């Protein structure tokens, strides 16, 4: 017996704004049923002695601490800009 109906597949497709054919509905119903069966198999595992984790690997933040440092002088930056005005880089307008 299927754990998910064709009506449920059509409803989810509608919510996702997906157009599905009757063939796709049949195929997705079978595929989703297989996915649900697999998830139910996972529920049978004994996880009493397994410590909850958010990631299987021991992850550490590898980002450096955010420290402010002095940047380039404005004059040097503006030397490379194709157009500038009042200490700012000018770019073509994208809105009217």
The structure's pTM equals 0.49
pLDDT at 72 over 80: yes
Confidence at residue 73, expressed as pLDDT on a 0 to 100 scale: 92
Confidence at residue 66, expressed as pLDDT on a 0 to 100 scale: 86
| Cβ-based neighbour number of residue 30 at 10 Å | 13
At 7-66, the pLDDT tens digits run 999 999 999 999 999 999 999 999 999 999 999 998 898 988 988 887 778 777 778 888
The residue that leads in pLDDT, 63 or 83, is 83
**Burial label, 40 (beta-carbon count in 10 A; 0-12, 13-18, 19+):** exposed
Confidence at residue 35, expressed as pLDDT on a 0 to 100 scale: 94
Helix (H) / strand (E) element for 35: namely helix 22-43
| Cβ-based neighbour number of residue 9 at 10 Å | 21
Which domains are present in the chain? 6-43 (1.10.20.60)
pLDDT at 1 over 70: no
């Amino acid at each position: 017996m299927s754990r998910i109906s064709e009506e449920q597949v059509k409803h989810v497709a509608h919510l996702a704004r997906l157009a599905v054919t009757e063939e796709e509905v049949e195929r997705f119903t079978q595929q989703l049923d297989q996915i649900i069966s697999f998830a139910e198999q996972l529920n049978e595992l004994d996880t009493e002695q397994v410590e909850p984790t958010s990631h299987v690997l021991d992850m550490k933040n590898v980002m450096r601490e955010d420290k402010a440092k002095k940047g380039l002088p404005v004059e040097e930056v503006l030397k490379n800009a194709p157009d500038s005005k009042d200490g700012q880089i000018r770019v073509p307008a994208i809105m009217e």
